[in-house]
Amino acid sequence: MGSLDQDAPPAAPASPSFLSDRSAKVFVAGHRGLVGSAVVRKLQSLGFTNLLLRTHSELDLTRQSAVEAFFAAETPKYVILSAAKVGGIHANSTYPADFISVNLMIQTNVIDASRRSGVEKLLFLGSSCIYPKFAPQPITEDSLLTAPLEPTNEWYAIAKISGIKMCQAYRIQHGLDAVSAMPTNLYGPCDNFHPENSHVLPALMRRFHEAKVRGAESVVVWGSGSPLREFLHVDDLADAVVFLMENYSGLSHVNVGSGKEVTIKELAEMVKEAVGFEGGIVWDPTKPDGTPRKLMDGSKLAGMGWAPRVELKEGLAETYKWYLDNVVKQ
């Protein structure tokens, strides 16, 4: 994998400047999710006037004929593929067939229809779970396919790896300007705060909020609090998506991270402060910690001139406000 850029045929010619084409049709697949909604907010703030947005009920991306008919009728110029079936460890282990088949179908249908309908540029969004379970830290792009995956989410990971490879194959064979971005752990507005199926940050936020409402003396958090994790505000990812659409046209996928680590203990204290919970935190060391460290190497993207802007403390306060306004009030 490390020699991919050097050995591969030349990349497809770069598309006309994305940011100079704000009246062009842009299809944001998955616009209601955490990532897609942030991309839509970013594009609207930049003055893009022709966004193509479809709910699942309006367009089922797992149905090839429906996707091909949509592309034939709408002829988008740009595609940002953030639609995916996502979930935590429990969901992945319970529905492995769904996680591999739904994601493979979405990716295959959208990428192939993009090529057939003459899309000028496509950006595919993946996840840091594509990397080996014991990848050297920080994780570089060329760690891909060098060792076994984390078994608990390999179905999703293999689908996302296939998406990267499909973008590369369509670039090599068909000249489709398809690029891939792999974000680290994300958080922000429109996150999933489900009590059982959410990731660590929104789960902590919900737990501290509910404890505050009940007047509880403490909150129990699993593990020792020692694992290190990296978090990126989803608005920073949306900014990186636009940056890559404008500036990148290469074969290799690109990591998108904050480059900053916090321990789970530090994260819990920061979420507690953002929520305003005044009780204590009780750590349960009988519960598993998970991977000791997981950090993306973002030097490739940083070398192009991009950097994140949202500090974690600021992002947590904003996310909690969104949670109060959109989850608690419903």
Phi, psi at residue 293, to the nearest 5°? -150, 140
How much helix, strand and coil, in percent to the nearest 5, is found in the chain? 45, 15, 40
Instruction: Determine contact, residues 53/93, Cβ cutoff 8 Å.
Output: no
Radius of gyration of the chain from Cα atoms?
20
Residue 95 annotated in active site: no
286 CB contacts (<8 Å, ≥6 apart)? none
Residue 235 is encoded by which pair of tokens?
């608005």
For residues 109 and 50, what is the distance between their CA atoms, to the nearest angstrom? 22
The CB-based long-range contact list for 246-249 (8 Å cut-off, 24+ gap) reads 246/17, 246/18, 246/19, 247/304, 247/305, 248/179, 248/304, 249/11, 249/12, 249/13, 249/14, 249/15, 249/121, 249/177, 249/179
Catalytic one of 156, 170, 320, 323: 156
What is the DSSP code string of 247-258?
A: H---SS-EEE--
Q: Return the residue matching tokens 């068909």.
A: 174
For residues 209 and 319, what is the distance between their CA atoms, to the nearest angstrom? 12
Annotated active-site positions, please? 156
